[in-house]
Structure 1
């Protein structure tokens, strides 16, 4: 699945699951194709992210709902190093991160709504959840859902459809490779797509 693009997966899945376009990779080469570990944290508090790094399984990607508390840097170098040590696959956060230059150097995939230096609290009584469904931009993300993210965006595919969508995505990429061959041979796109 790692070779498949977010746009291809989104189209193959029936144009579902696209997270807000404001969530972008810190570097365009960053890519994720992994199961989701949802996290809900109170706005302006990152204690649940520390808990998530400990609770998530290797190979999972943290998908974080910050309750639209965007103007905070929830994640930085320390948490990234901890996540790398745990073997986590990446971070998708509907909120801010900081230490962005260092995160890019580490090369570990980080997709965030913004970069922000504003610090966070660590309230032990703050209301959050690990592994329970979260809603980001109207899209529900459940434990084990497939997350595909790259320079174009982030798409979520329900776990029950992951194998089907992987197959449909591969077929779509094969078809598009043939379209490109025909275009390079001089055939117009209106003929290829049978457009009026």
Structure 2
């Protein structure tokens, strides 16, 4: 089980950049139904075609702690998951759902307590049944990205990102190092040492004047800062 409890999606996104891992971040606007909810687990992919059967089939292969990642093409004209889908997820040991689309039955989802992330709520369910693709249970599209069972999904109030499981230990280690640096910088600001002082900002301006190609990111990496990647 991945330990994401002491991290955040912004820290992991910065760590991806530092590690040379292309960040796979979900489109803006995907948020938890209940503020403060968090998720971390193996991707359990499912593409939605208008019927709940694809979710029920996906649950047959679920492992405890998996996160159902639902590809509904980012549609905003229908809700593709509701209370029964989420209750069945809990029964299958699924830790939560991340939906590229909408949900419904909000009060029931709040009561159930299984974390659900989506674009928001809509009363109307699907009025269609589309042809099913061969990849229905192999991968889920989420914006510009493709998520598979070889990926982890991390989600919090800032959004959702996907991370190749094989790189997770490395990236999360870097994220914790960045967190440590940033927390130290925050403590020093609170103690009266400004961020400009900590980052030797006047020195940066002088170096940039002499070398316009010298960026603030170069400067931060030279001095060990972590506020930008």
TM-score in terms of structure 2 length: 0.78
Is the 2:45–2:69 Cα contact (8 Å) retained in structure 1? yes
Deviation at 1:121, TM superposition (A): 5.4
Alignment of 1:147-166 (within 5 A): 147-166=153-172
What residue ranges of structure 1 are gaps of 5+ in the alignment?
A: none
Q: How many residues align?
A: 194
* Residue of structure 2 aligned with 1:28, choices 19, 25, 35: 35
Shift in CA distance, 164/6, structure 1 to aligned 2, threshold 3 Å:
same
Alignment of 1:158-177 (within 5 A): 158-177=164-183
**2:31 matched to 1:41?**
no
**2:131 matched to 1:126?**
yes
Is the 1:47–1:121 Cα contact (8 Å) retained in structure 2? no
* Residue of structure 1 aligned with 2:184, choices 174, 178, 182: 178
CA offsets, 1:152-195, max 9 Å, x none?
Answer: 10011112211111111111111111111101111111222344
Distance 1:5 1:173 in 2: 9
RMSD: 1.9
Distance 1:180 1:69 in 2: 40
* Residue of structure 2 aligned with 1:140, choices 146, 161, 168: 146
The residue that corresponds to 1:71 in the other structure is 77
- Is the radius of gyration larger for structure 1 or structure 2? 2
What residue ranges of structure 2 are gaps of 5+ in the alignment?
A: 206-229
Deviation at 1:60, TM superposition (A): 0.6
